[in-house]
Structure formats: structure tokens, C-alpha cells
Amino acid sequence: MLTDPVAEFLRHLSDERQLSPRTVAAYRKDLEDLQEFLADYHGGSEWRWEDVDRLTLRGFMGALQRKGLSRRTAARKLSASRTLFRFLHREGSLPANPARALRSPRVDRTLPGHVSRDGVEAVFASAEARAAEGELKGTRALVILELLYGSGLRLSELHDLEMGRVDLVGEQLRVRGKGRKERVVPMTQSASLAIRRYEPRRREALARRGQGPSGRTREEPLLVNARGGRLSRRSIQGAVREHLDRVASGEGLSSHALRHSFATHLLDSGADLTAVKELLGHVSLSTTRIYTHTSKERLKAVYREAHPRGATPESGE
């Protein structure tokens, strides 16, 4: 059971910071783990948030490690705890912030998976052929691929996108990113054409639900299922995997791979890092820099394959 300070903190995240329900639920789970540890740490006796100090939180980190959790998971749980204590200190509930000087476990940053340019061409050739059949599933799948790769949207942003936020004339989208922050993102001409081809099938699905033209287009989801309801995240992922598996079978690429490909291909072509950051909706430039590492690795591979002296000498020669 959550204590009153944690419940108040979660209300702050939901109502004031307007974080998504999924994000608030993740905070809730991480802070429940913290409270469970604190109860065990104090031997089941009564404890107060004022009693928590840096040593106690280091014990929490140790407990997470003993559970065999990954560094990334442990770092996330510690980040949730740090945000809680910062909130309690700012609100005057604590005289000091015990987590202020606490370091998170170092997390190795892995290079994101992405699709090659040739792979992207193959994916869209397949999707175009399916869309040409004129059915809801095929035309919708092409829209999904065009917006994930052409505009670099997150899965959650595409899932939440409403028709009223799609400007087909200006070829741009208004999307809500993390923290409910809104940004304007350009879309390709091919994405605009794909949406126009999909729109009649979308209206048919809405009509089956009894929602024909209502003058409330702005509130209607862009992506709908055959019954006229909002298409689920799982169904979006399924549509993406169906097409990606044809060019990268067994690699387990997901919708996020198309967002990674969007950024990587822009940077490979000389796009400015700051501009890519804005397109992706990143808060920090350091988050965007991981894509430069991807590009550098690909440049090294090209160098090793193409330059006469770029290959690693065989041992013993």
C-alpha cells in the first residue's frame, strides 16, 4: 500500500506534469519496490520518510543488485526514487534530499537496431504492393510505416495521433511526445498520399461503428481497427513486424527500429544533430548523440571494406 507522500507524488505526475498513465504506473511499481525494501530494512517496524538517508538508499541499490536486476532496471528504479525525494524536499516534506548525491549504476548504451537503406526500400516496396489492393489492413500498414520512418514518431505518438492533428495540405503533424509535450513534425509527400488512400477505408470502419461523419473529425483516431476503434499498440507493432521480418527475418526488429533508421539515415546524409534532436522530440542532445555512434560504426565498416589498407591484417602474416 502506498503511503500518503507517494500517492501525492503520483498525483503530481499525473495532474501537474501530465505524464501518461503508463509512465505513472511505472513510477508506482518502482516506488512500491522502494517501500517494500524500507519496510524490510527497518525490520517491519514503523518508519518515516525523514529517516531515509543516503546509506539507506545505497542499501536499496544493493538489494536491487542481489535480485539480479539489470543495471538499466536498477537505474530506472533509483531514478524514480530520486525524483520522489526531490519532490518531497521541494514541497517541504523533508528537510533535506537524501538522494541528491547518490550515483546511479553505470548503464552501457547499446547501439540501436536499424534497417539499412536497401532494407527500407524493400519494406516499402512490399507495403506499397499490399496497399494497392485497397483493403483497410494494407493501406493502414503503409501509413504506419510512412509515419514511423518518414517522421520518426514513437509508437505511443503514432498510437495517440488524431486525424485532426494531421495536416495533409501543409504535410505536417502535431504530435504529443513524452510529458505530453507537443511538437510539429514534417511528413513526407508519400505519407500524405498514403493517408489519402487509407482515408476511405478508415471512414468505412468508423461507419461500421455507427460513427459516420460527425463533425468531430479532430477527435477521431488516425489509426482504426476493422470495428472503428482506435488501433492498439500491439496491432501497430504486429503490422510493422510483418513487413520488417521479410527483409530482416530473425533480427527481432520492432517499430522503434524505424525511428532509429529515420535518425541514422538523416545523420548519414549530413543532417544537423540539433535539428534531428528537435524532430525526434528529445529533451537532451546527449540522447540524440547515440545515433552518431551508429553512423560512425557504419562509416568504419565502409572504410574497412572499401579502403585498400582498411582491413585488419590476418594474424601470422
Mind listing the pLDDT tens digit for each residue in 67-112?
A: 888 877 888 898 899 999 999 999 988 899 998 877 766 655 555 5
Q: Report how far residue 266's alpha carbon sits from residue 2's, in angstroms, rounded to the nearest whole number.
A: 45
Domain boundary, last residue among 71, 90, 109:
90
The per-residue pLDDT for 291 is 72
Task: Assess whether 79 and 141 both reside in one domain.
Answer: no
pLDDT score recorded for residue 190: 94
Instruction: Confirm whether 317 is domain-assigned.
Output: no
Answer yes or no: 109 catalytic. Answer: no
- pLDDT value at residue 15: 87
Whether residues 78 and 149 share a domain: the answer is: no
First to last CA, the chain: 67
Determine whether 260 is an active site residue: no
Task: Classify residue 51: in a domain, yes or no.
Answer: yes
Residue 307 annotated among the catalytic residues of the structure: no
Among 259, 260, 265, 277, the one annotated catalytic: 259
pLDDT the model gives residue 311: 61
Cα–Cα distance between 126 and 113 in angstroms, integer?
Answer: 21
Q: Which three cell numbers stand for residue 163?
A: 486525424
Catalytic status, residue 282: yes
Question: Among residues 12, 154, 174, 233, which one is catalytic?
Answer: 154
DSSP string for residues in 152-163 = ---HHHHHH-BG
pLDDT tens for the chain, 317 residues: list them: 556 889 999 999 988 887 888 889 999 999 999 999 998 888 766 788 888 998 899 899 889 888 888 877 888 898 899 999 999 999 988 899 998 877 766 655 555 577 888 888 989 998 999 999 999 999 999 999 999 999 999 999 999 999 999 999 999 999 988 777 889 999 999 999 999 999 999 999 999 887 555 444 557 999 999 999 999 999 999 999 888 887 765 455 788 889 888 988 888 888 888 888 889 888 888 778 777 766 666 666 666 777 777 665 554 44
Residue 198 lies inside a defined structural domain of this protein: yes
- Residue 313 domain-assigned (yes or no): no
Residues 86 and 129 in one domain: no
Domain that holds residue 251: 117-303
CATH assignment of the domain containing 259: 1.10.443.10
- Do 78 and 138 belong together in one domain? no
Q: What is the pTM of this model?
A: 0.64
Q: Which of 27, 149, 198, 291 is catalytic?
A: 291
Residue 195 within any structural domain of the chain = yes
Tell me the sheet residues that pair with 230: 224
Q: What is the CATH number of the domain that holds 77?
A: 1.10.150
**Is 154 one of the annotated active-site residues of the chain?**
yes
8 and 141, same domain (yes or no): no
Q: Alpha-carbon torsion 59, 62, 67, 72, what sign?
A: positive
**pLDDT on residue 244:** 86
Residues 172, 36 share a domain? no
Which grid coordinates belong to 204? Answer: 468505412
- Residue of 256, 289, 293, 298 marked active site: 256
Kindly name the residue from 174, 178, 233, 246 that is annotated as catalytic: 178
- The pLDDT score that the predictor gives to residue 250 is 45
256 is catalytic: yes
Same domain, 145 and 190: yes
User: Which pLDDT value is given to residue 212?
Assistant: 54
Question: Same domain, yes or no, for 157 and 290?
Answer: yes
Can you read off the three cell numbers belonging to residue 218? 479532430
Q: Which of 231, 262, 79, 81 is nearest to 158 (CA)?
A: 231
In 70-228, the DSSP E strands lie at 166-167, 172-176, 182-186
**Of 233, 282, 289, 293, catalytic:** 282
Domain count, the chain: 2
Q: What is the pLDDT of residue 119?
A: 86
